[in-house]
Structure 1
Amino acid sequence: MKKYVIAGAVCLTLLSCASKEESIIAIDVLLTPSEEMRAQAFQLNELIKQNNPETIKLDENHVPHITLLQCFINESDLPKVKKALEGLFSTIKNDSLKAENFFYYKEKEKSFAMIAVEKNQQLLKLHEKTIELVKPFILKDGSEESFVKNPDGSSISESTITYVPEFVEKYSYENFDPHISLGVAQKTLLDSLSQHVFKPIEFTATSVSVYQLGDHGTAQKLLWQSE
């Protein structure tokens, strides 16, 4: 009997270790914009929220950001990813970035809106270098469990789950589209925000960071930030 108890304990230990090793998380390697750019993003998002309370709210758990890479990794590889990214921010910290325009689909009555950021050579090179550094750790088989859970207990959207493993293939390199997400609202409001509120400004980045993703591509849980 004692042998069975010991064998059972060993099996449970092995299963526990395997579970920890196989924990997969969805991450966003991103740039955080300077205060002036953040302030404008918060202002625009607040006005969009007044029009559509159901859309995303930018706050300390949904930070304004410019995505460089989204992907799945083993949680156990996170220390290696952090180490790989060390020094990356120094390649862009002195460069000027530009909020080019207030983008939304003008042919639709309701549209997702974002601040489009100019894809200059410095930003494109940073995006490509980020993929190169993290690529050895990228996985394809994440799941709903890889994301920060929704506070209301609702499921992570299928579009969010499928977008992450396709990021490098479909949304990178020549398809890289740097932007700051703002939310969904009626076209009439977005027309007004574009004309009267949005300001095309130059700004800098304050850090390269790694966040665990939440629903709809939101950057929710800070895992690492450059110094």
Structure 2
Amino acid sequence: MKKFVIAAAIGFGLFSCTPKKENVIAVDVLLIPSEEMYAQSLQLNSFINKNNPETIKLDKNHVPHITLLQCFINESDLPKVNKALAGLFEDIKNHDLKAESLFYYEEKEASFSMIRIENSTPLMDIHKKSIALLKPFIVKNGSENSFVPNPDGSAISESTVTYVPAFIEKYSYENFDPHISLGVAEVSLLDNLTVYVFKPIHFKATSVSLYQLGDHGTAQKLLWQSE
């Protein structure tokens, strides 16, 4: 009986010491644009969404934003990540940003569209700094479960899952292309929006924020925001 108790105690000790599996989440370090730019993004997206209801719909759960970095992190590291990002907004808050153009592929019948943001020195600098600050926390073993689930229960697209871990290698530094995503629409509509709706304006960022990503790179769940 004594041997059994000792064996059970050892077995329990081994079991209790087994490390818990880390929950990995997909995150986006991003800039929220000022009210005027935010409103224009929603307006453009509303026309696009009417043309193609299947595309992304910008709202409070899919906020217009400029991505600085996308990556996978362990959820348990969130407090450390938030602390690392504290103060980052100071590097950009006084700098003007510029909405340059409505970008899409004009040779196609339908195209993904976005507001292209001028890649200024302050914007490039904060992009690089975001990577440097989060590099100690970045992991590669994310999956479909790392994203905010789709409301209809459908799978997160494979392109979304593979885009995130490739962001630094393929879409950063000299490949950094700051923009606000608007969705897919017929090019004939996008031509009209370029002429009659889009306004190339100067604006400022209102915050640096950390969001958990949803499908198609949408910023869905607010995790942290600069004060």
Question: Which TM-score bucket, shorter chain as reference?
Answer: over 0.9
1:11 CA drift (Å) = 5.9
1:18 pairs with 2:20: yes
**Secondary structure of the corresponding residue to residue 18 of structure 1:** coil
Instruction: Report the residue type matching 1:142 in the other structure.
Output: G
Unpaired runs of 5+ residues, structure 1, are none
Instruction: Report the residue type matching 1:27 in the other structure.
Output: V
1:5 CA drift (Å) = 6.6
Residue number in structure 2 paired with 1:132: 132
Q: Deviations over 1:122-145 (max 9, x none)?
A: 000010011011011111111001
1:119 pairs with 2:119: yes
Instruction: Report the residue type matching 2:53 in the other structure.
Output: P
Unpaired runs of 5+ residues, structure 2, are none
Q: Counterparts in 2 of 1:134-173, with a 5 A limit?
A: 134-173=134-173
1:11–1:186 distance in 2 versus 1, CA, 3 Å: farther
Q: TM-score, normalised by structure 1?
A: 0.94
- CA distance in 1 between partners of 2:97 and 2:172 (Å): 19
Q: What's the Cα RMSD here?
A: 1.5
- CA distance in 1 between partners of 2:205 and 2:93 (Å): 6
- CA distance in 2 between partners of 1:6 and 1:150 (Å): 44
Identical pairs, percent: 69
Residue number in structure 2 paired with 1:86: 86
**Secondary structure of the corresponding residue to residue 39 of structure 1:** helix
User: Which structure: larger Rg?
Assistant: 2
Instruction: Report the residue type matching 1:86 in the other structure.
Output: A
- CA distance in 1 between partners of 2:62 and 2:13 (Å): 42
**Secondary structure of the corresponding residue to residue 55 of structure 1:** coil
1:217 pairs with 2:214: no
1:78 CA drift (Å) = 1.0
Residue number in structure 2 paired with 1:49: 49
**Secondary structure of the corresponding residue to residue 28 of structure 2:** strand
Q: Deviations over 1:90-117 (max 9, x none)?
A: 1110100000000000011110000000
Residue number in structure 2 paired with 1:199: 199
Residue number in structure 2 paired with 1:39: 39
The number of residues matched between the two structures is 224
- CA distance in 1 between partners of 2:80 and 2:118 (Å): 30
- CA distance in 1 between partners of 2:54 and 2:65 (Å): 20
**Secondary structure of the corresponding residue to residue 161 of structure 1:** helix
Please list every run of at least 4 consecutive aligned residues from structure 1 whose deviation after the TM superposition is greater than 4 angstroms. 1-15
Instruction: Report the residue type matching 2:64 in the other structure.
Output: P
1:95 pairs with 2:95: yes
**Secondary structure of the corresponding residue to residue 208 of structure 1:** strand
Q: Deviations over 1:168-197 (max 9, x none)?
A: 000000000000000000111111111110
**Secondary structure of the corresponding residue to residue 115 of structure 1:** strand
1:202 CA drift (Å) = 0.3
